[in-house]
Structure 1
Amino acid sequence: MDGDTRLAERFERERPRLRAVAYRLLGSLTEAEDAVQETWLRLARTDTDEIDNLDAWLTTVVARVGLNILRSRTARREDPLDVRLPDPVVETPQPDADPAHAAVLADSVGLALLVVLDTLNPTERLAFVLHDMFGVPFDEIGPLVDRSPAAARQLASRARRRVRGQAPAPEKDLARQRAVVDAFLAAAREGDFDALIAVLHPDVVLRSDGGTARARHTTVLTGAREVAAQATTFGRLFPYARPVLVNGAAGVLVRAGGRTLSVMAFTVAGGRIVAVDVVADPRRLAALGLDD
């Protein structure tokens, strides 16, 4: 086996971790794949004899690529107040999934958290993701953002405060999540407004990306009564909802006539739904490859 083959195999072993870093940085599956591929191209052009720690080198490169994408995205954004829903990772629940797979799902990052991360500036997001999610030390993060380790620590600290204030820690037990989501769907199908209010947190937020057909891609509703009213309006579609995992948490896929109409992600905390994130943009749904 030659050196190039060994290097390619080593990279493939690292690919899932690199994709996870890029996805958490970018919230986009396509951009995450692009960042990982760019990392491979840079590795292929590099003399690996000069790399002391390949894992750290790969993390640094994919983070730099992701940071450049974030900065470019920020420069292009016309409306800084517009909410951008990240790409969902959708899986069919497997009751007999192996423990290793269950551990991966438990470590998944929810859509609601990714929405909050998208409100951070690029350097804050990079510092938080690398340190708090992947344990990268600040003396390695500092050079990535042209800051001292102490300044990088401050970036992560500011991001952490924002996350704690806007993204409640979700319920870890998937069965309890599912019970709350099922109660929400049943109440919506029956048009039971009081039952909906009972499973919604008073400050629940619903974000829905309907695509370019709308003046604003993403509609945001806040408060239990607003969200309950919206749920009863669309309750007629919920008989077509089937359970899935969205970013490792309880979610539903709404499909009718062989076509996916929406993906719904729920954040459950304290026995109530605190966030609902809906992707209904036909273009984005098609890119997920969910239809048979």
Structure 2
Amino acid sequence: MTHIDLNADLGESFGRWTLGDDDALLEVVTSANVACGFHAGDPGVLRHACEGAAARGVVVGAQVGYRDLAGFGRRFLDLPPAELTDDVLYQIGALEGLARVAGTRVAYVKPHGALYNAIVHHEEQAAAVVEAVRSYDPTLPVLGLPGSAWLRLAEEAGLRTVQEAFADRAYTPEGTLVSRREAGAVLEDPDEIAARCVRIATEGTVTAVDGTEVAVDAASVCVHGDSPGAVRVARAVRSALEAAGVEPRPFVGAGPGA
């Protein structure tokens, strides 16, 4: 692989509560998964993130999640499919408005947190999110975990699917993410994270928690913006990729009508 997208979760501050350094991360990443106000973010925070992305040529994606500000969208909600579809539609539309004012657009959709993990296997919820994207704009690419029900159903619905890997999350032997409730679920050493990202991009593999090698065919790598030292990690990942001859490049164009 000669190029790969580097994405991060942004727009997750709320009011006087600050989470992550959006401006610094926007100097490093090529795609920004911007919160949509349900799991995190308020209108001012989201507009600022979109403006920052537009100014730097970073692609904006809608990071849709459960309506769970208190739990940061990391708690599963057993929603009726129609309600989940409407919630996702609402979030995409809200961010689209702020992105347009900022001079950019929503260019893809990525689920967040518990919703992301649920639709790896939860067929009904996966189908509900697919229906939301298809109804809103069937040309929007969707970002997700390889082998997930979410990407399979999205592809069946005619959506463009993009597989991603995680720079700073531990993997199970099955290729899914280790629960954040377990020790070691989030990696913190920048050099270790950077090295595994180079392997993902150049070899298509990642080492699982049991030491086995897991195949990962990813067009994008995610660095969590709320992780400790996220900016330092993102910079290390980008530097290591470039040193290995892998160009960080978005998987979709930026800007209105791109």
Which TM-score tier does this pair reach, normalised by the shorter chain?
A: under 0.3
TM norm structure 1:
0.24
Higher Cα Rg, which structure: 1
More helix by share: 1
